[in-house]
Structure 1
Amino acid sequence: MIKELFTLSNITLPFVEEYIRGILPSNEGLFREMELYADENHVPIVHKEVGVLLQVITKSTRAKKVLEVGTAIAYSTLLFCEAMGDNGHITTIERNAKRICLARENIKKANKTNNVHLLEGDATEILKSLEGKYDLIFLDGAKGHYKDFLNDCINLLNPGGLLISDNILYKGMVATDDLVVRRQRTIVNRMREYLQYICNHSQLDTSIIPIGDGLAISYKK
């Protein structure tokens, strides 16, 4: 039996995480290949339970146009594609050249080249150049820059749309100083500031969910 690929976090009790991840069906095919690659090469991808939640949200809101900040190897990109169906489209942003190559390969393997627009470069600059509106925006890029992305994301989001921010509790460090690693202090402080901001933003209704590495779901009024 292959060892569970997703490391446990400090967000929920270990036995709860293990139970949830054990009861959810395992992926096969390309998704399983990407999970193995991510585990072996220390590439961050969404946790198993988070991936399922993203797909449930996408299906239930009938989102057909998604924006993603942080492609990595296109794991969550293709989860969104699967959930949206053939008529869905996702624009995704990545700046790491090696991951961009792998992402393109995976998108091609999944036969989703017509459904994915992969933009290469710094999200801070790219977001300002985008036009049109999105039904759902997924923030999973540089953790210390979420607030820098926020105003552009809100402007790009349809009223009634969702902004989903991943890794929002950052291995539990955001919730307590007892877990903070010194070299991560800046990221933790910025994430706390971001959470404070979106939870009190006049245009957003936000819920924080202790799942995976922490997820914030914000509804644009």
Structure 2
Amino acid sequence: MRESVLSNKEEYLGSLFSSESENKKLSRQFAEELGLARISISAPEAKLIALLVKMHGCRKFVEIGTLTGLSAQYIFEALPDGGELWTLEKDPKHGEKSAEAFSKIDQSKKKIHLVMGDARQELESLSAQGPFDGVFIDGNKAAYLDYLLWAEKNLRSGGLILADNIFLSGSLWGDMTSQKFSEKQVRILREFNERLANPDLYDSAIAPTFEGLFVAVKK
């Protein structure tokens, strides 16, 4: 019954935001070709992220986990003229598809920088471009806490932190899931969520999307 309700809910929400550009559809197609469609961001969640980025007035933004470039396109569109997005991806196959999608975007007024390599290493090099206005964390789950600690050092006061997949499909509270997460991943995500929920460090809330989206503002 619960799965049926979730399916109906996702179908309904998807119908409200089903109109995507041809280039976003291309990124979705790339994800399907790579067998990653199930982890590609949904249109309703992508719209929410873009709205938050726009409302927060972000100009310099970092995305950790490009996949095939879909969420990056939404974030890029939310940036004002003169804005810059750095999006980090480790897998060469994903990077190749993202680069193809990005090549079709008009970047005359704002820029996307695709950064290839392990995010934990590349973020340190990226620090010289800061401080940044926001970060979207959607990469290696076992490294979420490292990403957050980097963000704390390199976001401006009042900077925006968005983090996806914070429920690990329910693994954090003991649900049996088809995707198996390690004890390390579960431990790291619990520490990560507890830190973002700390009112001494952040003003924060959780948008109860299917996978959970943390929204936090650095104090």
TM-score, shorter chain, exceeding 0.5: yes
- Residue aligning to 1:118: 114
The structure-2 alpha-carbon separation of the partners of 1:66 and 1:181, relative to structure 1 and needing over 3 Å to count, comes to: same
The structure-2 alpha-carbon separation of the partners of 1:55 and 1:155, relative to structure 1 and needing over 3 Å to count, comes to: same
Select which of 115, 124, 127 maps to 1:128. 124
Q: Distance in 2 between matches of 1:86 and 1:25?
A: 26
Partner of 2:215, secondary structure, is strand
- Calculate the TM-score normalised by the size of structure 1: 0.86
- Residue aligning to 1:157: 155
Please state if 1:140 is matched with 2:146.
no
| Structure 2 unmatched runs, 5+ | none
Compare 33-42 and 208-217 and name the one that shifted more. 33-42
Which residue identity lines up with residue 148 of structure 1 in the other structure? D
Q: Distance in 2 between matches of 1:98 and 1:199?
A: 35
Please state if 1:30 is matched with 2:23.
yes
Q: Within 5 A, what are the aligned runs for 1:1-221?
A: 13-43=6-36, 44-112=39-107, 115-129=111-125, 130-131=127-128, 132-174=130-172, 176-180=173-177, 183-186=180-183, 187-200=185-198, 202-221=200-219
Shift of 1:87: 2.1
Aligned residues of 1:81 and 1:112 also touching (Cα < 8 A): no
Partner of 1:179, secondary structure, is coil
Aligned residues of 1:86 and 1:115 also touching (Cα < 8 A): no
The structure-2 alpha-carbon separation of the partners of 1:122 and 1:201, relative to structure 1 and needing over 3 Å to count, comes to: farther
State, as a whole percentage, how many aligned pairs show the same letter.
Answer: 28
Q: Report the count of equivalent residues.
A: 211
Partner of 1:162, secondary structure, is strand
Shift of 1:179: 2.1
| Structure 1 unmatched runs, 5+ | 1-8
Which residue identity lines up with residue 59 of structure 2 in the other structure? K
Which residue identity lines up with residue 110 of structure 1 in the other structure? I
Larger relative CO (CA 8 A, sep 6+): 1 or 2?
1
The structure-2 alpha-carbon separation of the partners of 1:212 and 1:181, relative to structure 1 and needing over 3 Å to count, comes to: closer
Partner of 2:133, secondary structure, is strand
The structure-2 alpha-carbon separation of the partners of 1:61 and 1:139, relative to structure 1 and needing over 3 Å to count, comes to: same
Encode CA deviations 1:127-177: one digit per residue, 9 max, x unaligned. Answer: 222222111101011012100221111111111111101111122222x31
Runs ≥4 residues deviating over 4 A:
none
The structure-2 alpha-carbon separation of the partners of 1:182 and 1:38, relative to structure 1 and needing over 3 Å to count, comes to: closer
Q: Distance in 1 between matches of 2:30 and 2:47?
A: 19
Q: Distance in 1 between matches of 2:45 and 2:212?
A: 9
Partner of 1:184, secondary structure, is coil
Shift of 1:89: 0.7
Shift of 1:53: 0.3
Q: Distance in 2 between matches of 1:24 and 1:76?
A: 14
Shift of 1:180: 4.3
